[in-house]
Structure 1
Amino acid sequence: MENKIWNPADLLQLSGGYWSACALHASVKLDVFTQLGEGPMAAEELAGRINSDARGLAMLLNSLVALELLEKEHNSYRATPFARNFLSKNSSQYLGHIILHHHHLMESWAHLDQAVRSGGPIRQRVSHEAGDEERESFEMGMFNLAMQLAPKIVSAIDLSGRKRLLDLGGGPGTYAIQFCLHNPELSAVVYDLPTTRPFAERTISQFGLSDRIAFESGDFIKEGIKGIFDVAWLSHILHGEGPAGCTVLLEKAVSALEPGGMILIQEFIMNNDQDGPLFPALFSMNMLLATPHGQAYTEKEIFGMLQSAGAGEIRRLPVELPNGAGIIAGIVGKK
């Protein structure tokens, strides 16, 4: 790979890149794009609607025009078509929840140096004790992201003849929903912490699949997994654990599969030298900030952990995904 040729302007743009991110986060928190997705509006009128100072809001709106997320004509602002699609709450493609999740992460990232010095986390992962807004932004943010990718992923994975899917750590159940929509003979269980239940049951109901997808609550590290399945889906679960935790998790997932069952793992996958791609490398630090042992793993490491857990025929599926994500599959033999 050819090395980037840096110059001071590039370096300073990188250093101050959080300015743009903060402008986006503030706009989502203030629900600017939903309001301006309904039609053009002057800053003064919008300020009245969202209970904001008109001068400060005008500054924010002008920065969003410069970022090409709003359009301005005379003294009126309106959302661009892209912003209407992805930043308005009235759109089914809304990404605001994951953006607010990123906002909640920013304080800990400002203290990354402390985490590097200590080698341990400086923030708590989203937990039972998290506030309603933070919990919702995380759970529905995962739904936002998965809805962008799940239809492409499920159409690329052949589950013909398989009847019962375990969506381990499935959050709001997005992948279970999409797998069931694509495979009419499939039923599923979403297994996750109790605080996830309301989000999962709500989204499952919205898709009319409450008769085919159940929710089971539990801690998949500390507890066993009830039931027998012929396919297990683990999407972005391993990175929250160290190698020892991954071993326990994968052994429990494999033990829940009948002979011939398929295990599927989606992760941000590092190259085997652990120096790229960029997003998995940065994401690994996000796990440093929030977990005692979590990290991004290499393809070689995931292959090895699956093999140790009892899976064979391990392969990486030819599905092109953004941000260095990939899907690794294995088959469970006779027990």
Structure 2
Amino acid sequence: MPPRKVGGLNSDKIIEIATAFHLSKILFVGVEFDVFSLIGKGKLTPAEVAGKCYLPVRSATRLLNGLTAINLLKYKNGKYFNTPVSLAYLVKGKPDYLGGLMRAYDKILYDRWGELGEAIKKDSYGRVFGEKGDTIGNISIDPEIAKAAMAAQHAYSVKPAEELASSFNFSKYKHLLDLGGGSGIISVMAAKKHPKLKATIFDFPPVCKVAEGTIANYKMNSRVKTHPGNILKDPFPQGADLILISGILDGYNEENCRKMVNKAYDYLPKGGAIILKESIVKDDRTGPLFPVLFSIALMIETEGGDSRSRGEMTKWLKDAGFKNISFKTMTKLSGKFRNLGYVTGVK
């Protein structure tokens, strides 16, 4: 049925939004069956793809056509092949492979978003879905959840880590303390870019195990270490003059965010600095799109988590006592969609 026109308007935009989940699920299933990796740099017929994926030809063809319609595959002379974007991000073995992230979106978030109305009705989070704790709590105690979560996080953190390593002047400091450092990619990239810098990743024990793998992969064991613990409850490891809090403030309520910032201020020596890096939401919280959507996801998954604005992070630093506060956006390598940026301050 064609979109109905009303007073010169039509319903295209509404229908586009309403059916957007079709697009994401087609992508997720394509990744699930590893279609992009199996095609690689080649060109395959529907029967060849079906054979490699162990799928019926008829249904495989429908999937391939769907992936073509959303511009993740191309079709010519009876064969399908990857687009440049698919080759870069959806083929296993590529440095920027996003398959792990897509699997996390599919297996963790997709069903949860189906319960969004209930979560909003109850102003609740993961326990709406019968879980015993929120995402951060589960990561802190379960090695398998931690491994899956860090694999997903790492996939879209490499480019921002490279950008931060170039954008911020780490060379002024001797030792970086990376609070909630996750896979460790930012510490690794910063140390790689700045040969005199040492770094310590302070995170939950299961996460530190993942970070140790990243450190080993980049052969940075001599200057990047891990320190397992709870960043809210345990003392910070000694010796750092620079603290990074990246991509975790959105997982905590404001009280705990302030607690982290205040604890960092008390810890740092005079002249020491702090970096707060997040996907930045507008102060009125109505945009940009990604941090607003992420804010809703955080409501579902965490107890008190929310996307963070430049204004509130600046206020936290000021209230803690930091001076020379500044803000910088990150779009050169990180892209614009996530609206990444960071606030810095000096003690």
Deviation at 1:135, TM superposition (A): 4.3
| Residue in 2 that maps onto 1:229 | 240
Change (3 A) 1:231 1:48: same
User: For structure 1, which segment, 193-202 or 181-190, has the greater mean C-alpha deviation from structure 2 after superposition?
Assistant: 193-202
Residues 290-309 of structure 1: matches in 2 within 5 Å? 290-309=301-320
Partner deviation per Cα, 1:275-297 (whole Å, 9 max, x = no partner): 22222222111110011111112
Residues 133-144 of structure 1: matches in 2 within 5 Å? 135-144=146-155
Retained in 2: the 8 A contact 1:33–1:79?
yes
| Residue in 2 that maps onto 1:111 | 115
Partner deviation per Cα, 1:226-258 (whole Å, 9 max, x = no partner): 213111111111111111111111122233322
- Determine helix, strand or coil for the equivalent of 2:95: coil
| Structure 2 residue runs without a partner (length 5+) | 1-7
- Determine helix, strand or coil for the equivalent of 2:279: strand
| Residue in 2 that maps onto 1:9 | 12
1:186 aligned residue (170, 179, 197): 197
Retained in 1: the 8 A contact 2:329–2:339?
no
User: For structure 1, which segment, 45-54 or 182-191, has the greater mean C-alpha deviation from structure 2 after superposition?
Assistant: 45-54
Equivalent AA in structure 2 for residue 65 of structure 1: T
| Residue in 2 that maps onto 1:331 | 346
Change (3 A) 1:318 1:66: closer
Question: Aligned Cα RMSD in Å?
Answer: 2.0
| Residue in 1 that maps onto 2:48 | 45
Retained in 2: the 8 A contact 1:224–1:252?
no
User: For structure 1, which segment, 190-199 or 57-66, has the greater mean C-alpha deviation from structure 2 after superposition?
Assistant: 190-199
Asked if residue 125 in structure 1 is aligned to residue 135 in structure 2, the reply is yes
Asked if residue 218 in structure 1 is aligned to residue 218 in structure 2, the reply is no
TM-score, normalised to structure 1's length?
0.91
Retained in 1: the 8 A contact 2:171–2:197?
no
Measured in 2, the distance between the counterparts of 1:275 and 1:113 equals 19
Deviation at 1:142, TM superposition (A): 1.5
2:216 aligned residue (192, 200, 205): 205
Deviation at 1:319, TM superposition (A): 4.0
| Structure 1 residue runs without a partner (length 5+) | none
Residues 231-250 of structure 1: matches in 2 within 5 Å? 231-250=242-261
Retained in 1: the 8 A contact 2:204–2:230?
yes
TM-score, normalised to structure 2's length?
0.88
Retained in 1: the 8 A contact 2:147–2:207?
no
- Determine helix, strand or coil for the equivalent of 2:269: strand
Measured in 2, the distance between the counterparts of 1:275 and 1:41 equals 44
Percent sequence identity is 27
Measured in 1, the distance between the counterparts of 2:142 and 2:281 equals 30
The count of residues paired between Structure 1 and Structure 2 equals: 327
User: For structure 1, which segment, 85-94 or 64-73, has the greater mean C-alpha deviation from structure 2 after superposition?
Assistant: 64-73
Measured in 1, the distance between the counterparts of 2:266 and 2:239 equals 8
Equivalent AA in structure 2 for residue 24 of structure 1: L
